[in-house]
Amino acid sequence: MKKRPIDHTLRSAMLFLAMATTCVAADARLTPLVQAVKRAKSSVVNIHSKKTAFNSESPFASGKGRQVSGMGTGIVIDKRGYIVTNFHVVDKVDSLRVTLENGSTYSAQVVSYDRRKDLALIKIQPAEALSIMPIGTSSDLMLGETVIAVGNAFGYEHTVTSGIVSSLSRDVEVNKSQSYENLIQTDASINPGNSGGPLLNLKGEVVGINVAIRAGAQRIGFAIPIDDARKVIAKLISIEQIDNNYHGLRSQDVKTAKKRQLKVETTMPNSPAATAGFQAGDIIVRAGSVDVIDGADFERALLGRKAGEEVAVVVRRNDNKTTIRLTLSGRSGRNIAAAPTEMVVRANNENEPVNVAQQAWQALGIRVSQLVEIEPALAGSRYRGGMRVTQVRRGGPADTNGIQAGDILLGLHLWYTIRNEDISYVLTHPDLATFSPLKFYILRDRETMWGLIQPDPANKN
């Protein structure tokens, strides 16, 4: 029997069907979860740390101990190398190393942190602009919604796990010194090393920052809602904190399922923002080259600019867009943003009161005197100066934490203590609550020691 040739139309149809079947099979693998990870993975970094562990029970360490390694995860929030992670990932570290998704590695420095909220900002100097993590909102998270965790789990870099939102608004006490409020609970596997990494939705947007696991339990992990975290990040990356510049704008993040915007609440009297003409109710749309959805965006848009520089800020006012020219102002005093492992000297401020020695006695339980210009104890050291402790109040914070008369107080938190005004600056700092207990540095018998001290402002003895 003679076979009839296949019609050309039929042959084309069969070929198209085969190709379509192949494409469908390929597309079936490219699930929303896969696409979400692809979108976000380049903005996730792995963090490795070295710190010194001390065996002594002394309230402060003498510099002797053993080196231990740590690990965590970070999220890129600015293309210049600013990365957010958990504070406990960088607490008391001697060095930090960050590995990007492409395998490149950089040293990192701690810029700022909020101990109570367990968030920290670190900085690297990348060879090229980094990819910024897509920002979502935690305001509309749903129970049972699929979420994805990406992180440095047990040191296995860029590990991806998935699960669901198990619960919302969890308050969790991890230990006596650390508790959290309003956490997201998830059954996505979160392990040691995931801390500081993103919890993503199926759009590849970060909706939480992974922070803790339930010891002894399986698939119970927790994350800080991104809307809460971004408010803290705005303070950590603020130009007052890092550049020592000032704009005087007070604003509010507005985050809902349908709306993400930054609303102006007020301006400080005689501030650059007041002079520029911002009004309550203005919605900030853009600052410089940065599209703004919240305070963190606004601060990073102004970051790195010099005092006196003008920035074009687009706002929406009464359904109309207008451009406001904001000229930044400098502030006295210098923060340690670039190198928090070394204290910096604050500039003199003639407006500060000079009779502030009593604050050190009331809050810390010490009396101090300024060192002479040539101090033998500082000869050959890297320190810029300090204050001699002349008296310690029995039972006060300093006494409890091991400070003795004769010690040289080198610094508190991020600043040198060379003058009484430096101590006052720290004790009256508006963000004191976020970095207390204070880390202090003293010199005793040419040996540098450090410890933690909780100020007692209410003590009037």
Q: Which residues are catalytic?
A: 88, 118, 195
The three-state secondary structure class of 287 is strand
- 332 forms beta bridges with none
Q: Which helix (H) or strand (E) holds 451?
A: strand 447-453
* Structure-block tokens of residue 392: 């310690």
Contact assessment for residue 98 and residue 124, using Cβ atoms and an 8 Å cutoff: yes
Contacts of 140 (CB under 8 A, 6+ apart): 256, 257
φ/ψ of residue 452, rounded to 5: -120, 140
Give which of 252, 239, 227, 232 is closest to 300, Cα–Cα.
239
Nearest Cα to Cα of residue 39 among 157, 151, 203: 203
- The HSE-up count of residue 98 (CA atoms within 13 Å, CB side) is 29
Whole-angstrom CA distances from 21 to 16, 27, 31 are 9, 10, 17
Long-range contacts of 257-262 (CB under 8 A, 24+ apart): 257/137, 257/139, 257/140, 260/137, 260/293, 260/294, 261/293, 261/294, 262/292, 262/293, 262/294, 262/295, 262/297, 262/298
163, 147 Cβ separation under 8 angstroms: yes
Residues linked to residue 314 through DSSP beta bridges, in sequence order: 286, 323
C-beta separation of 122 from 87 below 8 A: no
Q: Is residue 368 within 8 Å of 420, Cβ to Cβ?
A: yes
> In Å, what is the CA distance from 263 to each residue of 314, 369, 451?
12, 47, 41
**Among candidate residues 150, 126, 260, the one with its CA nearest the CA of residue 198:** 150
Residue in 44, 35, 32, 30 with CA at minimum distance from that of residue 206: 44
> Within a 13 Å sphere around the CA of 263, how many CA atoms are in the beta-carbon half?
10
